[in-house]
A and B are shown apart, each in its own frame.
Chain A
């Protein structure tokens, strides 16, 4: 229906659009045959190659991710171990710093509490004054 109507349209418009002087060429013509004479073989190889590369790439990526996640897990574990070790060392330090522990350690070393100190005051003229009454250690 549509075709016949357009055919009719052409009949109603006999005058061509292009000027008469132009060379009349067919609306469609054959292009020269493709110069690619290698055939389909290489293309298949290329696609296959890409496929294999892609698969290998994915495999490598997956392996790397898996290896990394193992490593991350190991590091987390190591971190936790080190944190525990640090915590235990800190605990020893804190316990060692406590007055009770220090007093005991000092006693074990045969140390005694200091007695009352005396103070040596140096005057501007170089003379000295002893302030306070020094008491030897161990005497209270």
Chain B
């Protein structure tokens, strides 16, 4: 009897005293459930607060084939609700594992309907779903997310850390049937939702621009079309687009060629649009004034390279304004030779060529500009007229923003502000402007560029009734990647300008890539800029367009 008591007492001590904590912990672990609380991804908004990307809670319906007794019956019942073909569902329900996703991205109400059928072996899971209500509008800026919810392109990628937030956990005790024990132990570590990003993009302007570029590319021969619109005083991006966008709601099905943002990642040779840089340098350095006269033949030969004007002509006494308005290659090269390669390179770089603007998007190209010491003779006479160096459509807009903003280049930015999860709003610090040319030179350039747009200039097709517009057309040969030569590469036609010319509000650059040079970019500028001026309620200044002396 005493021995039995001793054994029982000993066991008691062993269970309660020595192993007690371990058993208690095991019991508690048996009861304790821990769930991960996913953090809701933050929003991406346009300049007016319209959502471009936000996250909702969707549902995923899955099957455990080992629990389904009648796959054909279940599949027939579910096929209509899930809009998945019966045979596909049957295949999944007969698969040799225990987890088969039948349908994803479902509305919660639809999932509830499915679960209401109470089919054994069918389960539902919560799934965060990223929605892009504007669809393809601005998609190349906003980007998209992968199946795990992380950002893979655009703002979604660049601001992934801020947007994704921090997941939380909840742990609680459950009884045998899985119901929560009301007074049980419970610890919550709430999820911290992601912060939001507000862009400088206006989705209405972006929409109009996208439509115009898509219309260009729909003509069957235009291979690419890009455009950027900047706010002249701040350098903020109002819209940026490449034709043929994609729907980020179904990024997986999109043509991979359309996913990138060509206006910042692709480069082009701008052609005569770059003459504004050559002339800005020449005016700033005191080499020419708008009224100076240059006797200009229709061709110039340096070494064994000959450059001609677009149309044959006898030697003409062009004013410097006339050289720009008529886009004379020969006249511009003559001025550039007075300027010298070193100064020209210095001004090209000051205008931002060969350097990333630092816009808040990944994949930005700095453009291509070799140092002047390495320029061949052919390059040194082609660079002043926009061939032989490459830049992005964004950089092209930034050059004209500099002139429109009184000579100060403000590197373009596309994020207006970010809001952290605790609600703190951080406005984007605008980069410090770079003084490229004096205010006086900028005014002179705006004056000369206005001569281009309108009677006597090359860009009558870019003029907007009632408004004064300044800008410059361009045509450049596109190198053929197949032969590393220009033959068969096609052309870029370009336009960059701003309005109103005498009180600039908006700057726009346009690029069309085509097999021929027959379609100018000016009309795209005119169409979109007309919309922008009306949309942003910019009144004409009322001042008359000056008279220009182009030829004496």
* Contact surface of A with B, Cβ cutoff 8 Å: 65-66, 68-69, 83-84, 87-88, 90-91, 94-95, 97-100, 103, 113-114, 116-119, 121, 129, 131-133, 135, 140
Contact = CB atoms under 8 A, between A and B. Distances in A.
Contacts of B108: 84, 87-88
B465 A132 contact: yes
A83 B126 CA distance: 14
Contacts of A131: 466, 539-540, 542
B276 to A, nearest CB: 26
B453 to A, nearest CB: 16
A97 to B, nearest CB: 6
A65 B534 CA distance: 64
A54 B540 CA distance: 87
Interface in B442-479: 464-467
A98 B135 contact: yes
B137 A132 contact: no
Contacts of A95: 133
Contacts of A133: 465-466
Contacts of A116: 464-466, 530, 534
Contacts of A100: 134-135, 137, 207
B109 interface: yes
Interface in B314-348: none
A84 B183 CA distance: 28
A27 to B, nearest CB: 46
B204 interface: yes
B288 to A, nearest CB: 34
Interface stretch (B49-57, B149-157, B253-261, B427-435): B49-57
Contacts of B51: 94, 97
Contact of A99 (B137, B467, B534, B542): B137
B107 interface: yes
A119 B539 contact: yes
A102 to B, nearest CB: 8
18 contacts: A65-B183, A87-B56, A88-B109, A94-B50, A98-B135, A99-B203, A99-B204, A99-B206, A99-B207, A116-B465, A119-B539, A119-B540, A121-B539, A121-B542, A131-B466, A132-B465, A132-B467, A132-B540
B540 A98 contact: no
A84 to B, nearest CB: 4
A91 B56 contact: yes
A25 B109 CA distance: 94
B527 interface: yes
B467 A98 contact: no
Choose among A94, A119, A131 the residue with the greatest number of B CB atoms under 10 Å from its CB.
A94
Contact of B57 (A66, A87, A129, A132): A87
Contact of B539 (A87, A103, A114, A132): A132
B465 A88 contact: no
A96 to B, nearest CB: 9
Given A69-B182, A119-B539, A98 B464 contact: no
A97 B131 contact: no
